[in-house]
Amino acid sequence: MQAAVADVPVMDASQLPSDERMGKSSALPTQVISFAIGDDQYGVDIMAVREIKGWSEITHLPKQPEYVRGVLNLRGVIVPIIDLRCRFGQGLTEATALHIVIIVQIASRQVGLLADRVLDIVSFETNQIQAVPRVANGSRIGFLSGLVTIESGMIALIDLPNLLSLAAEEEAA
């Protein structure tokens, strides 16, 4: 007995509604892990987050920028830890057992981001992301990819690749 194959109409892209041609209709909401540094809320793409762990002792390395707190051995992988408060020009974090490290994947490397606490997983449509106002020439805004307004306030979205590329430029200088 042979299974019958139904005739499936073939459509080219011009027959799709314009939103589907642009890849917009089936877009899933963007999700970020939101976390706090002081009273400010930040977010990183949930797909870049590999794990969240409590603060533990790290190995300090000489001649590193102040915001590179050291490295952590995470199951055999050496992970640099970046103090986001310091990176954003707000002074060093006095890390305690209550602080957290968000391990993120940036290109082929893992990096730990030191923050005060995790807040939530937040979902939103990409069209809700607003541009960061360019009021001054400060480098801090270069670390941000956008702003999202939610019920409890505003989340500044961290541009992970830019966070490292600017770090590399400063180290080379």
CB-based contact 140:88 (threshold 8 Å) = yes
Q: Where are the domains of the chain?
A: 48-172
For the segment 37-69, what is each residue's pLDDT rounded down to a tens digit? 999 999 999 999 999 999 998 999 999 888 999
C-alpha to C-alpha distance for 82 and 115, rounded to whole angstroms? 9
Q: d(Cα 1, Cα 149) in Å, to the nearest integer? A: 60
More confident residue, 113 or 162: 113
Q: How many helices (H) and strands (E) does the chain have?
A: 3, 10
C-beta of residue 18 within 8 angstroms of C-beta of residue 132: no
CA distance 37 to 25: 35
Q: Which amino acid is at 155?
A: I
Q: What is the CATH number of domain 48-172?
A: 2.40.50.180
- Please give the pLDDT value at position 139: 52
Any idea of the CA torsion for 65, 67, 69, 70, to the nearest 10 degrees? -40
Residue 48: predicted pLDDT: 96
Q: What is the pLDDT of residues 96-151, one digit of tens each?
A: 999 999 999 998 999 999 999 999 999 999 999 999 887 655 555 678 899 999 88
**C-alpha torsion angle, residues 35, 37, 39, 43 (rounded to 10):** -30
